[in-house]
Chains A and B, each alone.
Chain A
């Protein structure tokens, strides 16, 4: 008989078909939905996170594992009472105004989703006002801004200031991108800076702990 431990193994292997099949079997057997998620799907993904950090797994494998996990979660989600769905937190991401670069931001999004975060990606070339509007709509705990250029990174400060003016200072602001440093993050009043996609997850974890 298949077990919840097997489910974790399929997630780690990134086997989407078997993850879905086993999730359905566990649902049919009457396993508790939250247990399927926490001890099966998310537990598997946690192992993936550790292995990635240790250099034993690589980005494409992490992505396919995350895909297996999220498809499993989608099947269990309708069975869970509203409000009990586990989530590490909600993060809103976007690239600042005048900047169309987004591969870094996208990688951060993938890493966060793989770690159980709900990610709202508002896209590229977003003015401070667009960030504010999206924060009001989605109410994330964390707002992340990306910039590749020393010229466009100037918009980060405007956005953080506007957040405070609008009374959204409780939302944590994080920044990243090639020209960004901890000093710059401090200067613009951000709550955090991460030098790469994987450490952005650690940063979010520590900001919400």
Chain B
């Protein structure tokens, strides 16, 4: 018998971009920027809240003293759980080194998986997308993959939410057009959960807002954040910044700019209501200097967000990351490379809740073929992070002795008992050439597209009870839009 003593073992493959000392340096720099430069809040209520809490308010500019930020860091909830909308089962533990993945929101366009046409997203396209997300085993939650645009645009978020809640029981991250839209979506979620208290106890929705970089919190974003805190619902605050455009060109400078914005949001959230569940978000990338686009496929995106995961772990707060997306206009080799690198790297970094699976064309168009491909990539990525278990059973010395030189392990009981240790692909082709040719000689994208069509045609999500669906419909039908810039 092997006696093991004082052993350190890796439960998972690990990756760090930054040391704790470097994380501290970045956080302290962000604290300095929050104080020296500050950020602008275009919202009266937020200015009042922050002033009352002791922040220095000069017009729209808010400077956060370090002790107020440090207090906010102490009070914010470190343990956030997202639940199943039908059963209330507690499913996603958005904390520690847990990594969950899902789609992205708000693409103006989508690609129809049947006609291959690129068109503006519709009620139907969001319904289809949600069905696909619901069916895929490695996708943990749903974002809409499109702004519904075949309805009045000012209330598109209510239609989006309706399509989502009808087609999945997985947690939903809802991105609303403004505070009024968010209020309606919360109302709908409360109906499904069985009341305000029930939703708060077992939240299946997560709210979302983003500042405008550099350093501007528009009214809608600030109001959504304040509402999330008052309602005690998990709220993501995610700067979308680009090196050399809305942030310094240096990646450390990007980190400081992004942290300054999201942590100012944390301060607003905690000053509104201590203990409010807050998730630090980020889409940190580069401004591509040849095309002037916000890149969703740059290696810097994955590098920056893995670094942000290090900072989130250092601060012990949940974070929202980005992966599974591409700048490519179609799902080709480029899309596969960019999506796979970002998924694998993000998963290894231990970022908690990761979005934008299915984004093509720099985030302008959603693509369900890519979602299905990423589901497979996630299976592979998770195998990578499962690492290698080393113990008496897995060292398999007895089997090596039994089989001996020139033997065969394929028919050993030990092989059968441990077959699930290794990943079995669902889409990836490993067949011999003749077999692959006889099956049609298809590319991965073709196989993925067939799967998308099959899910849309045949998958049946857990239905929402009819009386609840009717109440949701009622809210959608009575929704009132607010023109931006007008009260």
Q: Which residues of B contact A103 (CB under 8 A)?
A: 242, 245-246, 287
B305 at the interface (CB under 8 A from A): no
A140 to B147, CA, bound (A): 34
Nearest CB in chain B to that of A56: its residue: B290
**Are B484 and A155 in contact, CB atoms less than 8 angstroms apart?**
yes
Nearest CB in chain A to that of B484: its residue: A98
| Interface size grouping (class) on chain B | 20 to 34
Pick the residue among B153, B212, B244, B292 that contacts A151 (CB under 8 A). Answer: B153
Bitwise interface map of A from 168 to 201 toward B, beta carbon under 8 Å scored 1, else 0: 0000000000110100000000000000111000
10 further interface pairs, Cβ-Cβ under 8 Å (given A97-B485, A103-B246): A52-B290, A59-B244, A60-B244, A60-B289, A99-B484, A154-B484, A178-B363, A179-B108, A181-B120, A196-B292
A15 at the interface (CB under 8 A from B): no
B216 at the interface (CB under 8 A from A): yes
19 of the cross-chain contacts (CB-CB < 8 Å) are: A52-B290, A58-B289, A60-B244, A98-B484, A98-B485, A101-B212, A103-B242, A103-B287, A127-B485, A149-B177, A151-B153, A151-B177, A154-B483, A154-B484, A155-B485, A178-B364, A179-B108, A181-B120, A198-B292
Question: Which of B153, B216, B242, B363 has most chain A Cβ within 10 Å?
Answer: B153
Minimum CB–CB distance for B457 against chain A, Å: 29
Q: Which residues of B contact A178 (CB under 8 A)?
A: 108, 363-364
Q: Which residues of B contact A52 (CB under 8 A)?
A: 290
A154 to B156, CA, bound (A): 13
Q: Which of A83-113 contact B (CB under 8 A)?
A: 97-101, 103-104, 107
**Are B212 and A98 in contact, CB atoms less than 8 angstroms apart?**
no
**Are B147 and A100 in contact, CB atoms less than 8 angstroms apart?**
no
Pick the residue among B156, B246, B289, B363 that contacts A59 (CB under 8 A). Answer: B289
Minimum CB–CB distance for A149 against chain B, Å: 7
Minimum CB–CB distance for A78 against chain B, Å: 34
**Are B485 and A125 in contact, CB atoms less than 8 angstroms apart?**
yes
Q: Which residues of B contact A100 (CB under 8 A)?
A: 42, 212, 216, 218
B154 at the interface (CB under 8 A from A): yes
Q: Which residues of B contact A125 (CB under 8 A)?
A: 485
Minimum CB–CB distance for B198 against chain A, Å: 31
Minimum CB–CB distance for A2 against chain B, Å: 31
Minimum CB–CB distance for B478 against chain A, Å: 19
Q: Which residues of B contact A205 (CB under 8 A)?
A: none
Bitwise interface map of A from 117 to 144 toward B, beta carbon under 8 Å scored 1, else 0: 0000000010100000000000000000
Nearest CB in chain B to that of A152: its residue: B484
B422 at the interface (CB under 8 A from A): no
Interface, chain B (partner A; CB < 8 A): 42, 108-109, 120, 147, 149, 153-154, 156, 177-178, 212, 216, 218, 242, 244-246, 287, 289-293, 363-364, 483-486
Minimum CB–CB distance for B240 against chain A, Å: 10
A55 to B292, CA, bound (A): 12
**Are B42 and A150 in contact, CB atoms less than 8 angstroms apart?**
no
**Are A151 and B178 in contact, CB atoms less than 8 angstroms apart?**
yes
Q: Which residues of B contact A149 (CB under 8 A)?
A: 177, 484
A101 to B212, CA, bound (A): 7
Q: Which residues of B contact A198 (CB under 8 A)?
A: 291-292
**Are A150 and B292 in contact, CB atoms less than 8 angstroms apart?**
no
Question: Which of B154, B156, B212, B242 has most chain A Cβ within 10 Å?
Answer: B212
A98 to B483, CA, bound (A): 8
A100 to B40, CA, bound (A): 12
Q: Which residues of A contact B245 (CB under 8 A)?
A: 103, 107
Nearest CB in chain B to that of A52: its residue: B290
Q: Which residues of A contact B289 (CB under 8 A)?
A: 58-60
Pick the residue among A107, A154, A197 that contacts B153 (CB under 8 A). Answer: A154
A202 to B242, CA, bound (A): 25
Q: Which residues of B contact A151 (CB under 8 A)?
A: 153-154, 177-178, 483-484
A33 to B218, CA, bound (A): 47
A151 to B218, CA, bound (A): 14
Bitwise interface map of A from 47 to 87 toward B, beta carbon under 8 Å scored 1, else 0: 00000100100111000000000000000000000000000
Minimum CB–CB distance for A12 against chain B, Å: 17
A198 to B288, CA, bound (A): 13
Minimum CB–CB distance for A72 against chain B, Å: 24
**Are A196 and B178 in contact, CB atoms less than 8 angstroms apart?**
no
Nearest CB in chain A to that of B40: its residue: A100
A95 to B293, CA, bound (A): 18
A58 to B273, CA, bound (A): 46
Q: Which residues of A contact B147 (CB under 8 A)?
A: 150, 179
**Are A59 and B177 in contact, CB atoms less than 8 angstroms apart?**
no
Given A103-B245, A178-B108, A150-B484 contact (CB < 8 Å): no
Nearest CB in chain A to that of B214: its residue: A103
**Are B293 and A196 in contact, CB atoms less than 8 angstroms apart?**
yes
**Are B484 and A97 in contact, CB atoms less than 8 angstroms apart?**
yes
Q: Which residues of A contact B364 (CB under 8 A)?
A: 178
Q: Which residues of B contact A104 (CB under 8 A)?
A: 292
Q: Which residues of B contact A97 (CB under 8 A)?
A: 484-486
Given A98-B485, A198-B292, A150-B218 contact (CB < 8 Å): no
